[in-house]
Structure formats: structure tokens, C-alpha cells
Amino acid sequence: MSALILASTSRYRAELLSRLRIPFSCAAPEADETPLPGEPPSVLAARLAQAKAAVVAARHPGAWVIGSDQVAELGGAPLGKPGTRAAACSQLAAMSGREVLFHTAICLSNGERHLQAADLTRVHFRTLHADEIERYVEAELPLDCAGSFKCEGLGIALFEAIHSEDPSALVGLPLIALSNLLRQAGYRLP
């Protein structure tokens, strides 16, 4: 079977992929993640997943490459990674008591074939108070996470409910959809 490469430096995505027990390596995708003017969040996630897979596949001919991207959407607008504590607190305050959509797209590519899938997860945030937000951001420093939280950690305490067909999607790699794509590419899974 061809080499499998995860086009990501995210330890969370690598931890998820390891659950499938297929040998893989990781490579930085180095793709431009700038949204196009007026680009809907779901389209942005799909475009970036494909771009990440394509960049790494071009550097590794013959390998199958997994590209994945997640875009948070609040009120129709994309939320980026906060980058700073102040931005994370601001994002969480804006999401307080509201529903946020998380579009997670994956692309499995060998440079010739591109297999794609997407997941939509709806997260209902409970009403958050400023002191709770500050304590959370200080505790987890979710500065590199879309939506300013880590659901695999303390961030789960910020929610009222999560609605998704794939519980791994919110972490950044929908394993149910990915398993189906890997089977299409010839990988043997249970």
C-alpha cells in the first residue's frame, strides 16, 4: 500500500488518525489559508483541505495525503484562530448562549485522485460570564483553535450540547468519513 501522509502539524489530528492503526507520517502543508472575498465557511474549509492535500501530494509522488481544515461559523461569518488571549476572550464572549457551526472538510489525494468529504457540527454554547471566559482561556490557551476552545479538554464545559454525525469531527478530523475515503483508496480497515 502507498505511504499515507497527514498534511498537518496538529497533534490533535495526528492523535485521531492514530486510532485507525494505519502507519502514517506528518508533513506541514504550507498552504495559504486566506479566505476569498465572500467565501462561505463550508466552501473555505473544503478548498483549504484540498489545497493542503495537493501541496503535500506534490512533494510526495505516489503517497496518499490527507488534508483537513475546519472553519467555525457564527452568524454566517467565519471565525479564525484567535492568536491572542484578548481575541480568544472576545470570540468566546460572542459565542456565549449561541449556536456555532463547525465545518470540517477532508480531502484524500494522491495527486491524481481527490476524494472529499465534509462534516457539519453544531455546538450550542451555554451563557458564559466574563470571569469564566478568562479562567478558561488562561487554563487552556486555545489560541491556535478555531472557535477559541479545545473540546477534547476543558472546553467541553463551555457547551450545552453538540450535534454531529461524527464525534471526532469537532477535534478536526472526522474519522467516520475518513475511514470511508481510505477504503475507497484501497486501505483495509475493520
**Catalytic residue numbers, as ranges:** 69
**Interacting residues of 2 by C-beta distance below 8 A, sequence separation 6+:** 62, 63, 64, 110
Cell of 100: 456555532
Across the strands, what pairs with 109?
65, 114
**Interstrand relation of 64-74 and 99-109 (parallel, antiparallel or unpaired):** antiparallel
Phi, psi angle pair for 120, to nearest 5°: -120, 120
